[in-house]
Amino acid sequence: MESPAYNFPDVNKILQAADRIKHHINKTPVLTSHSINAAFHCEIYFKCENFQKVGAFKARGATNAIFLLDNSSLVNGVATHSSGNHAQALSWAASLRKAKAFIVMPSNSSKVKVEAVKNYLGTITFCKPTLEAREATLAKVIAETGAIEIHPYNDLRIIAGQATAAKELIEEIPALDILMAPVGGGGLLSGTALSARYFSPKTRVIAAEPEQANDAFLSFTQKKFIPSVNPNTIADGLRTSLGTLTYPIILDNVHQIVTVSEKSIVMAMRFIWERMKILIEPSAAVPFAAILEKKVAVSKMKIGIILSGGNVDLDKLPWITKK
Contact 129, 104 (CB under 8 A): no
For a copy of itself, the closer of residues 119 and 232 by Cβ is 119
Count Cβ neighbours within 10 Å for each residue of 30-57 and write b for 16 or more, e otherwise.
bbebeebeeebebbbbbbbbbbbbbbbb
DSSP string, 33-65: -HHHHHHHTSEEEEEEGGGSGGGBTHHHHHHHH
Q: In what order do the strands lie in the sheet with 302-307?
A: 30-31, 43-48, 302-307, 178-182, 204-210, 256-260
> If we measure between CA atoms, which residue out of 102, 118, 90 comes closest to residue 187?
90
For a copy of itself, the closer of residues 24 and 204 by Cβ is 24
CA angle 12, 14, 17 (to 5 degrees): 110
* Phi, psi of 281, deg, nearest 5: -85, 165
For a copy of itself, the closer of residues 197 and 270 by Cβ is 270
For a copy of itself, the closer of residues 143 and 319 by Cβ is 319
For residue 222, the minimal CB distance to a copy of itself (Å) is 37
What residues line the site for a copy of itself (CB under 8 A)?
29, 31, 34, 50-51, 53, 55, 270, 273-274, 276-280, 310, 314-315, 317, 319-323
Which burial class, exposed, middle or buried, applies to 132 when counting CB atoms under 10 A from its CB (0-12, 13-18, 19+)? exposed
SS3 120: coil
**HSE-CB of 115 using CA atoms within 13 angstroms:** 5
For a copy of itself, the closer of residues 1 and 112 by Cβ is 112
For residue 233, the minimal CB distance to a copy of itself (Å) is 21
For residue 192, the minimal CB distance to a copy of itself (Å) is 20
For a copy of itself, the closer of residues 48 and 238 by Cβ is 48
For residue 323, the minimal CB distance to a copy of itself (Å) is 5
Crossing angle of helices 11-21 and 156-172, in 10° steps, is 80
Which burial class, exposed, middle or buried, applies to 139 when counting CB atoms under 10 A from its CB (0-12, 13-18, 19+)? middle
For residue 234, the minimal CB distance to a copy of itself (Å) is 16
For residue 50, the minimal CB distance to a copy of itself (Å) is 5
For residue 310, the minimal CB distance to a copy of itself (Å) is 4
For residue 104, the minimal CB distance to a copy of itself (Å) is 25
Contact 42, 288 (CB under 8 A): no
For a copy of itself, the closer of residues 16 and 33 by Cβ is 33
For residue 28, the minimal CB distance to a copy of itself (Å) is 10
Cα of 29 vs its chain's centroid, Å: 17
> If we measure between CA atoms, which residue out of 72, 70, 216, 74 comes closest to residue 153?
216
For a copy of itself, the closer of residues 55 and 122 by Cβ is 55
In the DSSP assignment, the letter for residue 106 is: E
For a copy of itself, the closer of residues 175 and 314 by Cβ is 314
